Amino acid sequence: MTIKVGDKIPSATLTTMTADGPAPVSTDEYFAGRKVALFSVPGAFTPTCSAKHLPGFIERADEILGKGVDEIACMAVNDVFVMNAWGKSAAAEGKVTMLADGNAAFAQSLGLEMDASGFGMGKRSKRFSMVVDDGKVVALNVEEPGAFQVSSADHMIGQL
């Protein structure tokens, strides 16, 4: 079943890079007691993700945070090392937290996984964005395959 507005974020473990190396991130703890703007891309370093999606959230981070969001996070079905390298190359540090869903377990628990085997990419996350307030989804924007409109930073700003 696909997650919808009003649902609680499912329990899962993502990974982020810290100064001490990879660290687990419990979704129960991460989303508790705060507002998070989460967006997900099919893959780090892929064309639309690198040219538009991540840069939009980096460029508009101050505006998003100024609307009451505590943290902006980017998730992809990539390993934590790739997510860290992508964040560094895009100058995301201090603006967007990079979260790895290496085995697509979180994407599957959300019902937002897709099969990109035809492109040699295996299981991935659909392109989406959501606003999560204290663990509850208050806005959800899932793109049609190949599209990039409703999951953008610009669209999310209009929802905040």
Catalytic residue set: 49
Cβ neighbours of residue 108 closer than 8 Å, sequence gap 6 or more: 123
- Phi-psi region for residue 134, left (φ > 0), alpha (ψ -120 to 50) or beta? left
- Closest among 98, 128, 134, 104 to 117, alpha carbons compared: 104
Rounded CA Rg of the chain? 14
Tokens of 136: 């509850």
- Closest among 116, 20, 124, 128 to 74, alpha carbons compared: 128
